[in-house]
Each structure stands twice: as structure tokens, then as C-alpha cells.
Amino acid sequence: MKMIGIGDNGAYGLLPPYIEWIEQSEVLVGGERQLAFFPNYKGEKIVIKGGLSKLVEQLQAEQRNTVILASGDPLFYGIGSYLSKKIPLEIYPYASSLQLAFSRLRESWQDATIISLHGRSIKGLAQKIDGRQKVAILTDDINSPIRIANYLKLFGMTEYEMFIAENLEGENEQCRLMTLEEVMESSFSPLNVVILRQTKSGPVYPLGIEDEEFSQRKPDKGLITKKEIRVLSLQAMNIESSSVIWDIGTCTGSMAIEAGKLAKEGAVFAIEKNEGDLANCLENQRKFRVDITAIHGKAPDRLEEFPDPNAIFIGGSGGEMQQLLTVCIDRLQPEGRLVMNLATIENLYEAINCLKELQCDVSILQAQLSRSKPILHMTRFVPLNPIYIITAVKKGIENA
């Protein structure tokens, strides 16, 4: 069984052997658009609609000479990857839409970051693309060039220009290099791909953002996880690029934002009981280009709205510790980590006992830090409040 990639120029773009295979086949499978390129086909046509499980059963039982048509490169966000695991296939790719788009832009693309928003949420796009010089995006009706431009403006990513390639190799092909403002005032065909290209460098925030950079509650500025404690806690959480993270009592969002920069391909979910702090968290997200889900509430209420996490951060104890920790450990993935910052020995004692009852491996780091401060022509040290950093690792199934 053969699978042949095809472009919007139809049979015109296919090699002669491919045309011959199609003409000699008894069954031709593809989307309505691909099948329409062969109006004089004499065999049976099968239209791909909806889910693929029924199609797989049909193809597994098919004894006739069959050719499957797929858009562009079937192994590039196409049906080829799925079908090739279910049935034996010979795959013959055509140029993907992104290959064609970069050729129209006359730009190399081996160093581009590729992101698909086709049928997916735009949530989290900011941290995925921040700092990337070239980004290729597969769009859909909802995540259109206009929506992407508005999103970039919201997060201050004005260093990007947008190349929109529409109806590639079709009769109405159009390619335009535009500013974000121009995109927001234009209209586009539903069949398009987007390339973002930096015209200048954006701001860079290394791990351990200065406390003063964050918008905080005024006049009280004490409710933030201090930079040094933040870095130690992030390290203890063992965050990977695809991690799902909870930040409970996010306040300014400092931990959630830095965690989001580490988990670019994952997701961060935060909860905060104070609406004023939540507003600061939203402002900080936009400034530091990290798009997280932050909701108003007091944990453990509303935690059922979040997916099961790989790591959890709790910035302090707001009461109901045992109930909160029980819910968190229950939802935490096996081998996942819960990291908690506490300032008093009473809360430390309660947390350790609770986490051990929940069969976690527990370790504690006491952080006593001081920052230098000038005094006349000399230097003195100003101590930060001592903090206990608890790390609890949930045992895997085999270790439970």
C-alpha cells in the first residue's frame, strides 16, 4: 500500500511514477480536496472524514491495490505517522507547507522553531517562542494570523515581523511580509502558514529575576519568594521542559513565571486567593513573556480544574495544611516533587509529619542568606529571613 504526498497544485506537482501508481490503483483514499484533483479516476474513492480508527479497520481488510493521498509531507503533522503504525505503508512525501513557505521567503529553515497551533490552544505560546530568531507556525481557523499578531502584541513581542503564506501552490497563492500592526488590519485565507522573524533582539531575563523587576502589592512588598530562595526551590522541583507544574499561592507569580521559562513545552497552573496579587501576576506574565493559567481561589479548592502535575510549589502555609498536602500528593505524578517554603519551626514540624504519613521521601534545606549593602565607603550584609525548603518526592508505583 502506497501513501503519496500531494500539494495544492494537484497532479501537476507529482512525479510521473506517482501518477502511474494512482492510475493503476483500484482504490484511492484521501480528503475531499485531494480526491478532487482526480475527477476521471476509474476506481473506488474513499473519503477520509472524522476519526481514523474506522479507516484503519477498512484498510487492514483491503485486498485491492490501494493508494492513499495526503497533504504535503504525510509524516509532518500528517496522517502518515498514525497510519504507518497500523498498516504497512510505502510513503512518498511532497514538500510540506513550511518548506514551501520558507522557499517563498528565501530563508533557510534548519534553525527554525516549529510549532503547530492547528487544533491546539495558543496558551503557552509566549514562552515557547521567546528569544527564538525564526518560528514557523501551523495555523487554523481559530489561531489565525490576526489572533497570533494580537497575542504577540499582548506579550510585548514587537520585535517580530510576520510572513504569511496563503494557498501555497494554489490558484490564489499570496505571500506577504508584514508588521504586527499590518496583520491586525488585514484579512487572510483559511489555508495559511506563518513565519515569525526577529528584526531585533528582545529582552533577556536569566534564571533568578531580580525581586524589584516584579510588580508587587504596594506598599507591602514582602510577599514574594526572594530570588535566591526561588532559584533553590526551582532546582529542588526538578523541572523538565515538558513538566506540568502547580504554583499554590502564586502571589506575584514569580515562581510560576520562572518555572514556565524552564518548562517551555509544559504548562504552569497557579492559584491565588488575593485578587490584587492575581492582577500583579497577570501583569508580570506579560512583562516576562510567560503565559500561564492563573485563577482566583484558595487551595485545595479548585485544584480539580488542573491536570495532574509533575511538580508542585507551595510558597507558605495558609492553614488547612494536612488537607492541602493530602490533595497535592494524591494528584502528584509518581516520582513527582512537592517543594514547600516555610518560615516557622511549627509549620515545618507539621509539614514533615504529614508528608511522611503520605509515604513521601522528605528532605529539608535551611537557607540562611544575606545580601551585601553599601554603608558609606564600606560594605555590610543584610540577612534575609531564614527559610526552610522542604522537598517531598512521591514514591513510584513499584516503590509504594
Is the domain spanning 98-198 CATH 3.30.365.10? The answer is no
Dist. CA 48–CA 69, nearest whole Å:
10
What pLDDT does 50 receive? 79
Domain 2-95 class in CATH: alpha beta
All 3 cell numbers of residue 256?
A: 510560576
Q: Which residues contact 338 (CB under 8 A, 6 or more apart)?
A: 311, 312, 313, 314, 325, 328, 329, 332, 355, 360, 390, 391, 392, 394
Domain map (residue ranges) of the chain: 2-95, 98-198, 211-399
Neighbours of 54 (CB within 10 A): 10
What CA–CA distance (Å, rounded) separates 234 from 237? 5
pTM score, whole prediction: 0.89
Q: What pLDDT, on the 0 to 100 scale, is given for residue 51?
A: 81
Q: Amino acid identity of 207?
A: L
- What the block records as the C-alpha cell of 373 is 549593602
Q: What is the pLDDT of residue 399?
A: 57
Query: So what's the pLDDT on residue 377?
Result: 93
pLDDT at 167: 95
Q: Please determine, looking at this structure, whether the domain spanning 211-399 carries the CATH number 3.40.50.300.
A: no
Identical fold at 2-95 and 98-198? Answer: no
Residue 395: all three cell numbers together: 514514591
Residues of the chain with pLDDT under 70: 219-222, 397-400
Q: Name residue, grid cell 510558597.
A: 315
Whole-angstrom distance, CA of residue 108 vs CA of residue 157: 22
The interaxial angle of helices 275-288 and 254-262, nearest 10 deg, is 30
